[in-house]
C-alpha cells in the first residue's frame, strides 16, 4: 500500500477522480500502523482520509482509537464535530459496526473528559446501532466508578441491558466486589438480560459474598446454563456449607 501511495503521488493522479481508491489505500495504511503499535502514524493517515471523505467510518474508527491511545480525547470530539457539519462524498465501504465503534470511542472520550451524561447518551446510541462494534466498556466502567455505588451500577446496568453479546462482563464485573456483582447480575436477569454469564457469574458471586437470597432468586434463571456448569456450582455451594442451595440447583437440571 505504501508503494501504491508513492506511485499515486509521483504520477500526480487526480485526487478528485480517485477519492475512493485513495481513501482505501490510506485507511489500509492507518489500520496497519495501529495494528503495529504506531498510533501516531495511524492518526496521521486516518486524518487524511477523514479530511478527504468525512463520512468514512472505517477511517474515523482508526482516527478515534489512535487519538485515545495517544491520550487525546478532545481530538475525537473535534473530529466528530467536523464530520457532522461537513458534507462528504459517499464512502466506498459502509459498516454499522465501524459506525458503532466510532460512537463508542466518542463515548469513551466524553467519559475521560468527565462529561458523563453525554458519554452515556453516546454509548446508548452506539449500542443501539451495533452492540458488536461497541469498544468503550472499560471507559464506561471507570466513569461509573466516579459516581456513588448505586448510581454507578444503575448506569452500567442501563448499558449492559442493551448489549446481548455479553461483551461487558469482563470489564463491568471485574471492577465490582462479589456482593455488588451478585446484585448486578440479579438486576440484569430480572431486567430482561438473557446472556447466560449473568446467571453463572451471579450464582458464584452470591455464594462468595454470602447472599443466599440472591442465589435463590437467580436459580429461577438456571435453565440458561447446562447441567455440567450447574453441577459444578452446586458442588461449590455444598463445599461452602449450603446443601440446601446445592439442592435447589440440582433439581433445576433437566435430564438430556
Q: Quick one: the chain helix, strand, coil %, rounded to 5?
A: 75, 0, 25
Span 81-97, pLDDT tens digits = 999 999 878 887 778 88
Look at residue 24 and tell me whether its pLDDT is greater than 50: yes
At what angle are helices 57-69 and 19-35 packed, to 10 degrees?
A: 30
Q: Positive or negative, the Cα torsion across 175, 177, 183, 186?
A: positive
- Which residues are CB-neighbours of 142 under 8 A, at least 6 positions away? 111
Q: Which of 212, 165, 203, 167 is nearest to 184 (CA)?
A: 203
Confidence of residue 234 (pLDDT cuts 50, 70, 90): very high
Look at residue 22 and tell me whether its pLDDT is greater than 90: no
Mean pLDDT for the chain overall: 89
pTM of the full predicted structure?
Answer: 0.82
Span 207-220, pLDDT tens digits = 999 999 999 999 99
Look at residue 256 and tell me whether its pLDDT is greater than 60: no
Distance CA 71, CA 8 (A): 33
pLDDT value of residue 174: 83
Which residue intervals of 36-92 are DSSP H helices? 39-52, 57-69, 73-85
Span 148-193, pLDDT tens digits = 989 999 999 999 999 999 999 998 888 888 999 999 999 999 999 9
Span 52-75, pLDDT tens digits = 889 999 999 999 999 999 999 999
Q: Where are the domains of the chain?
A: 173-256
Amino acid at each position: 500500500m505504501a508503494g501504491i501511495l508513492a506511485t499515486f503521488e509521483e504520477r500526480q493522479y487526480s485526487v478528485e477522480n480517485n477519492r475512493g481508491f485513495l481513501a482505501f489505500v490510506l485507511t489500509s495504511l492507518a489500520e496497519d500502523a495501529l495494528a503495529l503499535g504506531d498510533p501516531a502514524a495511524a492518526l496521521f493517515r486516518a486524518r487524511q482520509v477523514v479530511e478527504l471523505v468525512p463520512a468514512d467510518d472505517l477511517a474515523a474508527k482508526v482516527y478515534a482509537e489512535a487519538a485515545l491511545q495517544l491520550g487525546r480525547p478532545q481530538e475525537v470530539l473535534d473530529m466528530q464535530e467536523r464530520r457532522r457539519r461537513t458534507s462528504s462524498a459517499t464512502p466506498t465501504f459502509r459498516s454499522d459496526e465501524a459506525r458503532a465503534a466510532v460512537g463508542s470511542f466518542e463515548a469513551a472520550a466524553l467519559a475521560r473528559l468527565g462529561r458523563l451524561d453525554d458519554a452515556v447518551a453516546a454509548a446508548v446510541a452506539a449500542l443501539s446501532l451495533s452492540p458488536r462494534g461497541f469498544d468503550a466498556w472499560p471507559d464506561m466502567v471507570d466513569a461509573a466508578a466516579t459516581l456513588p455505588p448505586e448510581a454507578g451500577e444503575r448506569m452500567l446496568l442501563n448499558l449492559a441491558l442493551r448489549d446481548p453479546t455479553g461483551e461487558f462482563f469482563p470489564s463491568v464485573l471485574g471492577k465490582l466486589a462479589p456482593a455488588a456483582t451478585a446484585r448486578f447480575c440479579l438486576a440484569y436477569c430480572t431486567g430482561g438480560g438473557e446472556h447466560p454469564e449473568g446467571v453463572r457469574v451471579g450464582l458464584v458471586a452470591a455464594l462468595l459474598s454470602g447472599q443466599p437470597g440472591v442465589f435463590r432468586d437467580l436459580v429461577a434463571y438456571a435453565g440458561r446454563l447446562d447441567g455440567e456448569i450447574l453441577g459444578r456450582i452446586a458442588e461449590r455451594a455444598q463445599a461452602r456449607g449450603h446443601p440446601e442451595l446445592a439442592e435447589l440447583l440440582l433439581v433445576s437440571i433437566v435430564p438430556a
